[in-house]
Amino acid sequence: MEKKVLTVCPYCGTGCKLYLVVEDGQVIRAEAADGRTNEGNLCLKGYYGWDFLNDPQILTARLKKPLIRKNGKLEEVSWQEAIGFVAGKLTEIKKKYGPDAIMGTGSARGAGNEANYVMQKFMRAVIGTNNIDHCARV
Amino acid sequence: MSNSIPEIENADLLLIFGYNGADSHPIVARRIIKAKEKGAKIIVVDPRITESVRIADLWLPLKGGTNMALVNACGNVLINEALYHKEYVGKYVEGLEDYKTAVAKYTPEYAEAITGVKADDIRKAMRDYAGAKNAMILYGMGVCQFSQAVDVVRGLASLVLLTGNLGRANVGIGPVRGQNNVQGTCDMGTLPDVFPGYQAVTDAKARRKFEKAWGVKLSGRIGYKLTEIPHLVLQEDKVKAYYIMGEDPVQSDPNAGEVREVLDKMELVIVQDIFMNKTALHADVILPATSWGEHEGVYSSADRGFQRFKKAVEPKGDCKPDWQIICEIATAMGYEMKYEDTEEIWDEMRGLCPSFAGASYKRLDELGSIQWPCPTEEHTGTPYLYEGNKFSTPNGKGQLFACDWRPPLERVDEEFPLSLSTVREVGHYSVRTMTGNCRALQQLADEPGYVQLSVEDAEELHIRDQELISISSRRGSVMARALVTERVKKGATYMTYQWWIGACNELTSDHVDPITKTPEFKYCAVKVERIKDQAGAEQHVRDEYAKLRKQMGVNV
C-alpha cells in the first residue's frame, strides 16, 4: 500500500511542499504539492533528492551507530557510552577552561527549528555561553 | 525577505543583484520568468551571464568585488536626477543630507572606472527602477560573501527607501536565503547575539525572561562567531571544544587546511550528523542523528514562512532525533531537559517569542504556512513587512546609508593573476552528502567538479574544455575539470563548493566582512595551469575518489 506524506523539501530556502510516496517503509518517489511558495512545482532536487534515505552507498555511508575515537580509530559504542563520554568531557572542559571555551553550531538543514531551539538552549542554559552560531554566516 | 516569494511575479521591475536564482532556487527563478512573462522589466547585476541575464532587459556586468561603487552610483543618479520619491523620503526616511554627501563623488562615470559598467547603463537602470510602479530587489551571496557586504546590503536598502518601494505588496528587498532552514536557524536564536525571536542577549529584560523560563542564570556576553573560531583556536588558544550539529566546515568553510588544523588542535570535537563527511574524519565522537524524512518539525522558508515537515520512514540505523540527543547530554550533565515531542519544544519557544507566538502546530496545519510576525493564534501571518512604513529603528524611520567602496582584501597579481568566486550548481546541494547519495542527481555531475573559465583565458593557457587542470591559490592547490564558457569574463574563474577533489575551499581566503564576519568566498586570487599528462591526471582523480569513498565508509 502506498502512503503519501506531506512535507517540505530539505534543500533550498524556497520552502516547496512535496509528498513523499512510501511503500513498504521505503520512499519510492516524490510528488509536487500545492504549497504557498511552489504551487505544484518542484525542481529536480525536489523530485529526486530523497534517495539518500535509502543509503545507496554512493558517496558516503550513513551514520548508524555512535562512534568514539579510541587509539586514533573511530569505534562503535552504545548510546549510553557516547552520551556519558560527551557529558563527562564537556563538564571537564567547562570546569577547566570556563564555559566560553566551548563552541556549538546549529544546523540550517534537516534538523529543523525545534532541534535548533534545543541546541541554543543547551549552549546557553547548560554550558553557560552564547557561543552558538551556524552557517548563515558562511 | 521583506516581501513574499509569490509576490515576485507581480512586480513591475526586478533588480536582481548578485543572485543566480536558476542555480540556487529554481522555483524562485520560475517566478522571475513569470514576472517577465507578465511584462516586468528585469535588470541584472552580475559578472556572469546567468540565466536571469539571458532574459534581462538590461545587464550590468560589473567586475567582481566592486558592488559598493555601483550601489553608490545608483544612489548618486537617484539624487542628482531627482528621481527619488521626495514625499516618501520626507515622511519616513532620515539621513538624506549625509547620504547625498557620501554618494556625491560616485557619479556614473566615476563608478564606470571601478566597476566596468557603462555610465549610461547605470543611469538607465535607475531611471527604470525609480519609474516602475512596484519594484523589487532580489539579492544573494553575490552581495553577502565579500569583505564589504553589510555596507552593500544597507546601500541596496537605501535605494529601496529612496524610491518608496516598501510597506506594500510586490515591492521591497529580498535576500533569498540559501538553505532550507537558514532563516529558521536564525529565528531560533542559533546566533551568538540573540535569543530565539531576535531578542538580544545583551538586553537585561530579555535575559530575565529566558532565565525565568529555563531556571538558570544566563550570560549577557555576546558569543563567538563561527568564522572567528580558527583565530581563537590557533592564535589565542581560547576554544577547546566544538559541538558541530549538521554542518561540514572542512567542506563548506574557507581555507579548509586551516579548518582541519583547528579541529585537530581542539581537545574535543563532537560531530552530530547523518552521513560521514570530511569534518567527521576529525571527530573524537560521532552521534548519529535521524534525517529529514525520519523526523518531524518546522522549517522557516526564505520569506519567513513557518511550515511543518513530517516523518515518512523509520530511521535506518540506531539514530536519534537531534533534539533528543542534546536533551540526553544535558540531563547527563545535571540539567534535566525532557520533551515528549517536537510540539512541546515548539510551544515552549512560542511562549518566549512574541513574533512567533501565534504559529501553533494546529494553526500551521490549518493554514499550511504562516509568515512571521504572527503574534496571536487569530493572526494569519505577515506576507510583507513594514506596513505603514514604520521601521525597527528607535524613531521608526528608515535610515539611508552610504560609505566608500573598499576593494576585496586579496588582490590578483603576477603570480595569481585570476580571481576565483565560489558559486552554486543546480543538481547538487551544499556539501553534497545528501544529493551526492541520490542516484539520479549523482549522474548529473561528479568528481572532480569544474572550474568555469573564459574562452580568452583558456586560449591563452592552452586549455581545452573538459580537460583536467590545476588551480592554486596562496593556501592550496586542487585539480578540477575546465568548463570553458562564454558566460564568464576574462580574468575570472568560478567553482562550486561541493566537490572533494576539486574542493574550492582549499583555495578560498578567510578574509571576512568586519561586521558579520562572513568570508570573502566571492573573491580570491588564483592561478590556473594546464596538466600535460591528462591520462595520469584522470587516473589520479579515480584513485583519490576511491580512497575518499573508502574513508567515508562506503562499500567500494
**Cβ atoms of residues A68 and A74 within 8 Å:** yes
- Model pLDDT, residue B110: 98
Domain formed by A3-54, architecture? Single Sheet (2.20)
- Model pLDDT, residue B42: 98
Pick among B24, B146, B185, B284 to test the A interface (most A CBs inside 10 A): B185
**Upper half-sphere CA count for residue B486 (Cβ side, 13 Å):** 2
Residue B235: Cβ-neighbour burial (10 angstroms; 0-12, 13-18, 19+):
exposed
Chain A window 56-75: which residues touch B at a Cβ cutoff of 8 Å?
56-69, 74
Note the pLDDT tens digit of each residue in B493-518: 999 999 999 999 999 999 999 999 99
Give the helix ranges, DSSP H, for B132-175.
Answer: 141-144, 150-162
To the nearest whole Å, the CA of B543 is away from the closest chain A CA by 14
Polymer length of chain B: 556
Tell the residue number behind the cell numbers 540559501, with chain if given: B178
Pick among B240, B363, B518 to test the A interface (most A CBs inside 10 A): B240
Kind and range of the H or E element at A118?
Answer: helix A113-121
Contacts of A39 in chain B (CB under 8 A): 6
Question: How crowded is residue B379: how many other Cβ atoms within 10 Å of its Cβ?
Answer: 15
Residue B270 to residue B244: CA distance in whole angstroms: 6
* Cα–Cα separations (whole angstroms), residue B23 to A132, B51, B185, B429: 30, 9, 22, 10
Residues of chain A with CATH 2.20.25.90: 3-54
Kind and range of the H or E element at B16?
Answer: strand B13-17
pTM of the shown model: 0.96
**Upper half-sphere CA count for residue A86 (Cβ side, 13 Å):** 30
Among the partner residues B346, B349, B552, nearest to A60 by beta-carbon distance: B552
Q: How many CB pairs under 8 A join A and B?
A: 476
- Model pLDDT, residue B316: 86
Chain B window 425-454: which residues touch A at a Cβ cutoff of 8 Å?
426-427, 429-430, 432-442, 444
The rounded Cα B175 to chain-centroid distance in angstroms is 8
Residue B431 to residue B251: CA distance in whole angstroms: 6
Among the partner residues A7, A57, A129, nearest to B223 by beta-carbon distance: A129
**Cβ atoms of residues B213 and B219 within 8 Å:** no
Q: Does B116 touch chain A (CB under 8 A)?
A: no
Pick among B432, B437, B442, B520 to test the A interface (most A CBs inside 10 A): B437
The x, y and z cell numbers of residue B407, run together, are 576593494
Q: Tabulate helix, strand, coil % of chain A (nearest 5).
A: 35, 25, 40
Q: Does B219 touch chain A (CB under 8 A)?
A: yes
**Cβ atoms of residues B122 and B70 within 8 Å:** yes
Question: How crowded is residue B366: how many other Cβ atoms within 10 Å of its Cβ?
Answer: 11
Tell me the pLDDT of chain B (556 aa) as tens digits. Answer: 999 999 999 999 999 999 999 999 999 999 999 999 999 999 999 999 999 999 999 999 999 999 999 999 999 999 999 999 999 999 999 999 999 999 999 999 999 999 999 999 999 999 999 999 999 999 999 999 999 999 999 999 999 999 999 999 999 999 998 899 999 999 999 999 999 999 999 999 999 999 999 999 999 999 999 999 999 999 999 999 999 999 999 999 999 999 999 999 999 999 999 999 999 999 999 999 999 999 999 999 999 999 999 999 999 899 999 999 999 999 999 999 999 999 999 999 999 999 999 999 999 999 999 999 999 999 999 999 999 999 999 999 999 999 999 999 999 999 999 999 999 999 899 999 999 999 999 998 899 999 999 999 999 999 999 999 999 999 999 999 999 999 999 999 999 999 999 999 999 999 999 999 999 999 999 999 999 999 999 999 999 999 999 999 998 6
* Cα–Cα separations (whole angstroms), residue B64 to B142, B152, B469: 9, 13, 23
**Cβ atoms of residues B72 and B112 within 8 Å:** no
Note the pLDDT tens digit of each residue in B245-267: 999 999 999 999 999 999 999 99
Kind and range of the H or E element at B529?
Answer: strand B524-530
Question: How crowded is residue B314: how many other Cβ atoms within 10 Å of its Cβ?
Answer: 10
What is the three-class DSSP state of B472?
strand
What is the three-class DSSP state of B300?
strand
- Model pLDDT, residue A138: 78
- Model pLDDT, residue A1: 85
Chain B window 177-196: which residues touch A at a Cβ cutoff of 8 Å?
177-193, 195-196
Confidence class for position A2, pLDDT limits 50, 70, 90: very high
List of E strands, B360-433: 370-371, 398-399, 418-423
Contacts of A97 in chain B (CB under 8 A): 240
Say what the ipTM of the complex is. Answer: 0.98
Question: How crowded is residue B347: how many other Cβ atoms within 10 Å of its Cβ?
Answer: 12
Task: For each of the domains in chain B, give its residue range(s) and CATH number, in order of start.
Answer: 5-176 (3.40.228.10), 182-382 (3.40.50.740), 418-547 (2.40.40.20)
